[in-house]
Structures are given as C-alpha cells and as structure tokens.
Amino acid sequence: MSGKILNHAYEAIGQTPVVRLSRLTAGLDGEIYAKLEYLNPGFSKKDRAARAIIEEAEAGGLLSPGQTVVELTSGNMGTGLAIVCAAKGYPFVAVMSKGNSIERARMMKALGAEVILVDQAPGALEGQVSGEDLRLVELVTERIALERNAFRADQFNRMGSVHAHQYGTAQEAWEQTDGQIDAFVDFVGSGGTFGGCARAFKALKPDIRCYVVEPFTAPFLAGREVTNANHRIQGGGYSMPLSLLDDSSPIEDFVQISDERAIQAARDLASKEGIFAGFSSGANAAAALQLLKGNERGSRILITINDSGLKYLSTDLFASEV
C-alpha cells in the first residue's frame, strides 16, 4: 500500500498481508497461507468487488452521476458498496435477508446506506440463509431497481467481481509468496473470488490446483444431493448455479465442510492465530487443513480470510458471555 495520503477510504482497498498459519498446521506436512482480506476498510474481501464493479460501470457509461445503486447482499458486498458509493456520491440501497447477522445491517446504515431487510422463506431459521432466502431478496432488489431507475451492482453476474480478484487478490498473493503456491481453496459465494483467483493462478502456474469449498449438507456445485440448504456458513453455499464459475475458472475438486468444523476452525483462527474472522473463513481454513491431511499433503495452500468476526457477535460463532 502506498505511503501517500489517500483522498478516499476506498483507495485503501487491497494490498492485504499474507500470514502463515503456523500454529494450526503444527505437526502437519505442508503450509497454509492466509490472505487477510478482513483488513480492507469494510472488513471483508467484498470491498474489492464493490470498487471494481462501480469503477467498471463508470468507465462503461452504465452509471450516471448521482444515480442510485442497489444490490442484494449478505452484508459484506453491501458494506463495500456503501463505502465506495458514499465517497463517489451515489445513493446506495442494500437489500438483505433477515437471516444474516444484524451487525452487517447496522454497519451499512452507519455508512450511509438505506437498508431493506427481507423476511426469510417459510420454515427457514435465523442465521441459516438458503438459496430460497436469497431468491426472495432478489425479487425485492429487482423491484427497487425498476422503481428507482437504479444501477444494479449485480455481484453474481458482473465481471468486476472476477476482475477484482484476478488482477488484485491473486497477483498480490503471488508476489507476496514469491509464487510458492501449490493450491488455492475457496468457500464460494458469488463465485467471483474463486473465478478470478483460479484464472490468474492457472495463467501463472498451470499445475496449481484450485478447490471449491461447499457446506457438507449443500454440495450443489459438486453435483451431489442437497440434504439441508439451511446451513450456518453465512455468505455462500446457496445451492444455485453461478455464472461467474465457467470453463475459465478450472476446478480441481470439491471439498465439503460441516457447520461444526467451519465454526471450530474460525474459533481456532482466533484463539491460536490471532485472526478474528467469520464463518466462511473458518470453512476455508477447515478445508485447507483437510486437504493437508489428504490429497495435498506437503503442499502450500492459499486461502482468504474473508471477513471480520466483529460482524458475527450477535451469533453463536464466538462465546456470548465474558
């Protein structure tokens, strides 16, 4: 990151450090490198995609000065968009399921966003956002975009979600590790991080292996039966097709991680490595550890730490009593 004074907070997005998870991997043959994306201004990797989508829309003439921006979000993309839109003068409307942690909604509102919370599907549980919940959020988002003539950030389809990681995250990680990466592991939400990083890494090192992580009960992308779409790993595993994952983002294999293992890994990241992160970061760490004990024994695996544990204090991810 430049040592110069920046004009806007969003200019601080990127150039996050990489840390070796030395305590979690003690006694194992191999290493895990964690790129600390929770150190972005909005405390998540989605800051990158938010900036890329807005700036590509500006460059392409798709976004007019002062035009409203709207997007569905589990909270992280909305936070990133709130930061970018506030600095650039675009009103922003975030549409989020009530199943996501309330800290995210409060943070987006504090950053100037209008936040609209959508009821979950019948039978859904709070804290367990399914693809059906997301579809309900999508309907509200589409309606608002039409009513307000708003620009739809559309993180599940716009290539800015991919480019942010293809030309940012992956390139930074490659330089920071001197290219010493054998595998990349990613719990998939919109598919932008995996799609972008896999493209970049394959171009840099054709034999690198890129793994998609999914919830144990919702291995939809792996083509297996979804036994429970209402898993607890917030921010992904939506059991729906993803347009940002295609032939240009080659998948070595799929790794399924249970809620319990993702939660324990997130807790271990905090207590053993000093990395205070959320559910999906725990899923990444758990998957990387599983691979080090199996097919990737002896490898150097890169993961991203997707967001901050501060966004989950109303959940049972961490101890509720002190």
Q: Which range among 117-131, 175-189, 220-234 has the greatest average pLDDT?
A: 175-189
pLDDT of residue 320: 63
Tell me the C-alpha distance between 232 and 322, whole Å: 23
Q: For residue 2, what pLDDT band results from cuts at 50, 70 and 90?
A: low
Q: How do residues 196-208 score in pLDDT, each as one tens digit?
A: 999 999 999 999 9
Does pLDDT of 255 surpass 90?
yes
**For the chain, which residues make up each domain, given as ranges?**
9-44+163-312, 46-152
- Averaged over 80-90, what is the pLDDT? 98
- Averaged over 70-91, what is the pLDDT? 96
Does pLDDT of 321 surpass 70?
no
Tell me the C-alpha distance between 71 and 138, whole Å: 9
| Mean pLDDT, rounded, of the chain | 95
Does pLDDT of 138 surpass 50?
yes
pLDDT of residue 59: 98
- Averaged over 218-245, what is the pLDDT? 93
pLDDT of residue 124: 80
- Averaged over 194-223, what is the pLDDT? 97
Q: 74, 190, 280, 299: which is the annotated catalytic residue?
A: 280
307 strand-pairing partners: 44
pLDDT of residue 127: 73
Q: How do residues 54-67 score in pLDDT, each as one tens digit?
A: 999 999 999 999 99
CATH class of the 9-44+163-312 domain in this structure: alpha beta
CATH class of the 46-152 domain in this structure: alpha beta
Q: How do residues 156-188 score in pLDDT, each as one tens digit?
A: 999 999 999 999 999 999 999 999 999 999 999
Distant-in-sequence, close-in-space partners of 2: CB < 8 Å, separation ≥ 6: none
Q: How do residues 291-303 score in pLDDT, each as one tens digit?
A: 999 999 999 999 9
Instruction: Report the half-sphere exposure of 311 (CA within 13 A, side-chain side).
Output: 28
Does pLDDT of 1 surpass 60?
no
Active site residue 46: yes
Tell me the C-alpha distance between 233 and 168, whole Å: 25
pLDDT of residue 322: 47
With 0-12 / 13-18 / 19 or more C-beta atoms within 10 angstroms meaning exposed / middle / buried, residue 109 is middle
DSSP 307: B
- 303: phi then psi, degrees, rounded to nearest 5: -130, 165
Q: 35, 46, 88, 311: which is the annotated catalytic residue?
A: 46
The helix-helix angle for 76-88 and 46-59 (nearest 10°) equals 40
E strands of the chain, at which residues?
18-20, 31-36, 69-72, 92-97, 114-118, 151-152, 183-187, 209-215, 253-257, 300-305
User: What is the value of pTM for the model shown?
Assistant: 0.94
| Choice among 35-39, 126-130, 168-172 with the minimum mean pLDDT | 126-130
In the chain, pLDDT over 70 holds for what percent of residues? 98
Q: How do residues 257-297 score in pLDDT, each as one tens digit?
A: 999 999 999 999 999 999 999 999 999 999 999 999 999 99
Active site residue 109: no
